[in-house]
A and B are shown apart, each in its own frame.
Chain A
């Protein structure tokens, strides 16, 4: 397991360097895959990586933003921390978007940034940036290594903090002299974090209160968030829902935490959620939120959110409880432990068949819908077709916007860890590099990057990684020649003043793919898609598919900003 690290050849001595210590620590943490980009301040670290031979698979992305989004995709699919290395200054600042994204979506990352040598920190040295100051508000924690003897302990703490409790990104800033200088001592890496003791087991009194409420509820509903997926609690959730016939709706990030094809599944709730899900949240008398953070895109106007419900909130992060929605039963706990406790203590409540009949009626009468004139390629139909050809088993990554919502609506997920999307931060350019990380985490699975024509152009330089590695990612560009969601809002709320949202000039995506020696294809009609899709997914290498879809198509149903769950527009007539 533990690879022998050769001593630092460049120093001309036999001594180990700080960078060698870092490599040893990474091996100890069982890191296999590193996403990174070298530069001046991390030269000692890259030298140690070189000498460590094949201990790691280092993925050289073509931009640091690609590295961090790939690490996010890797973390979401594998459940393990994604590891990133970038140099000081611009290398580090190029990571900022991804760090903020991981913070919002609770993804475990350990990010190593180079820093100028300790002696020149604060002098505006070449490629110096105050990455500690910059990342403090967007990390779970960050460190600047001040002494090489602290390095092994800090690395262990960083992995521990990133991957336990509510996961999040941790930045470790390493000055160049720390990584370059000899480090021969025996350094203690044991740690004690008195200020970080996440509560994992639920309080029995709160579980009893919740069990009592459940035994009285006539209109109960479960809202399942990403906490189900992170806590690996899907099976327990299914058992709970089935035992007490509880309908389950999920958040955007919770998709897959509960099987989308289950008879108790209501689909996604929120701004573009299903009528059945939003109506259930509006009308319920008991709302059990498990691992969701009551994001504004989910709740809509808080005045109309679950107005008559007793709200129970199970979350490992106490600060999420009561932040947006008044909570009557707070349960600070790991999702799995809380559901197990509830399964042990809860008793059968009054019959709520009427509630279920009403919900099923809503689901059957007001499903997601779209018109499908066969002469045009309709994006919703495109996503449904991808679902069909992959049997709903693919790992799907997206950017943010219309294509993301259509993927959430029409690619039904039945298993966890298959859905990789930028939820909280809503980052364009996330989907494609995230797919690279996802494919590396799950080499045998089909990975589909569903991206917009706008978002893809933000990070498409990572096609180099597909070329270099032959990663069989299927890139589906949902190309409507516009920044679709911006265009939709301008149409709806700004009287069709399409200010800088139409992408009339575009590269030839087929030729672009071919420039990277990747198979490229353009599809304009439904007929072509039906004909080529099975072959594209059967193909063993990477593919870029430019799917020309109808520009005017909008995402519905919708809760307009400032409106409540009961004020949906665009519901199937």
Chain B
């Protein structure tokens, strides 16, 4: 291979992913039960800047800006957040099996959200509670896995499953005692994972914590490489491993918790997407991070399009991602080589 070819090739791949994302976004605007033609889409978007006589109906405009736009934005943000969190967890725990679901971050966030709903908390409180419990779960899982004997890889996965099930049981209990007229449906909605009913206000609300998590993760991406070599080695290379890991955990958990609090439990994305991105651009986080971010957004957008267009009733996202994720997980654990 010629010098620098990998970097050049990877930049090209990331650029292509960016283009695919834009195309997917445009197609997503056109898809749906209420058809919008490409010419109408262009007209409606341009009319926000220039004065154009509407050749589309008001309903069309309402569908586009109040229903499809927030939903598309949220799908991109959630997909990007969950995948980025997964890639980050995998790096700092030196474990290719780590992801928001495996580490219990999702189950913890769901428990926190359910608890806040039970206490009739505001949406800010729901996110805060989701974040705190998410962080707590990750901390517990990490501490237990460090004490676990035998394979580190297995220790983290197993303690994640155990702690997750504990929090899931807690969530089930909350569902049992929740008010069946309003609280229970709200919690159930969280559990299944869905982007339906997304409003611009919610998107605006999710954007800030997500940006607060995603931007540092993007900026620290190259340093995460060094953490994958282990704490001691990283330290002798001039990296404060404990501090860096702490920052990465906080950021990854913040974006996970925010995702869960606006879209519910959407599993597997955080595990599957980083692995697929690794296939495309290799293990170096310098390129892996942007590729994962774009890939995650594309994936979630496509899955959400299927969710809202395939059947006459919406299919919850969590169900669809499990259809993709579970077989992929089986493939990962049976395949030898790269994981070691």
User: Does A associate with B in a complex?
Assistant: no
Q: Which residues of B contact A (CB under 8 A)?
A: none
Which of A's residues lie within 8 Å of B, judged by CB? none
